[in-house]
């Protein structure tokens, strides 16, 4: 598992020496931000899943800041935010709305908010998106953080279990090779 993840991650020295990262140099020297081990990778997945639901283009920045503060794998956290993209964000937000509506009991006799995505043009997409989010109201504001927490917890434990399965399978393979020789 470690080799697979490490193959796609940038080298620690390359990132620290990047001209864009120079202002953050002191913060980026923590080994947990770059080493791939089960706790750091699982924490990175959890941070990425949590920050992936943040509205707007701040997802990766928030994931990077949270990864530094929580000392989890930074590249894994940033890459994991990519699960929310223009194709998946509307269904995720609709799920968050439904979850919030169920929690606060907004389904008893009240009208359901219009979950259909507004028609947007290049010039007004930020305005239309903001109006759509405000129209969803209280169920959305409760459901979004709740969904983010649920995804983060699920992702953390799923990564830990997946890591354990891969390690056990490698132990067994190594043991079989040593008994066959």
- Structure pTM? 0.74
* 111 vs 125: CA distance, rounded Å: 26
Listed range (1-5, 98-102, 161-165, 172-176) with the worst mean pLDDT: 1-5
Model pLDDT for residues 98-107, shown as the tens digit of each residue: 999 898 886 6
Number of domains in the chain: 1
Q: What was the pLDDT predicted at 20?
A: 65
Q: What was the pLDDT predicted at 104?
A: 85
Q: Helix H segments across 10-124? A: 12-16, 38-51, 59-70, 74-80, 89-104
* 52 vs 63: CA distance, rounded Å: 8
Mean pLDDT of the chain: 82
Confidence of residue 45 (pLDDT cuts 50, 70, 90): very high
Please tell me which residue, 3 or 151, carries the higher pLDDT value: 151
Q: What was the pLDDT predicted at 180?
A: 82
- Token look-up 């791939």 returns 36
Element (H, E) at 72: none
Q: What was the pLDDT predicted at 23?
A: 66
Instruction: Encode 51-82: b = buried (16+ Cβ within 10 Å), e = exposed.
Output: bbbbeeeebbebbbbbbbeeebbbbbbbbbbe
- Token look-up 């209280």 returns 138
Residues 6+ apart with CB under 8 A from 44: 67, 72, 73, 74, 75, 76, 77, 80
What is the rounded average pLDDT of the residues 97-121? 67
Q: What was the pLDDT predicted at 89?
A: 86
- Token look-up 């890459």 returns 79
Quote the domain boundaries for residue 10.
2-180
């Amino acid at each position: 598992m470690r080799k697979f993840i490490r193959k796609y991650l940038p080298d620690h020295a390359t990132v620290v020496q990047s001209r864009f990262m120079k202002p953050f140099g002191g913060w980026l020297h923590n080994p947990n931000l770059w080493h791939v081990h089960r706790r750091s990778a699982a924490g990175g997945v959890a941070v990425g899943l949590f920050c992936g639901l943040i509205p707007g283009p701040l997802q990766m920045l928030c994931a990077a800041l949270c990864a530094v503060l929580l000392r989890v794998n930074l590249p894994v956290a940033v890459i994991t935010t990519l699960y929310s993209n223009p194709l998946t964000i509307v269904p995720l937000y609709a799920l968050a709305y439904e979850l919030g509506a169920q929690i606060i009991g907004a389904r008893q006799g009240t009208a359901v908010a219009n979950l259909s995505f507004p028609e947007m043009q290049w010039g007004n997409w930020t305005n239309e998106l903001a109006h759509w989010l405000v129209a969803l109201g209280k169920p959305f504001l409760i459901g979004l953080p709740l969904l983010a927490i649920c995804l983060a917890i699920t992702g953390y434990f799923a990564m830990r279990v997946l890591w354990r399965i891969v390690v056990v399978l490698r132990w067994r393979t190594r043991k079989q090779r040593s008994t066959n020789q």
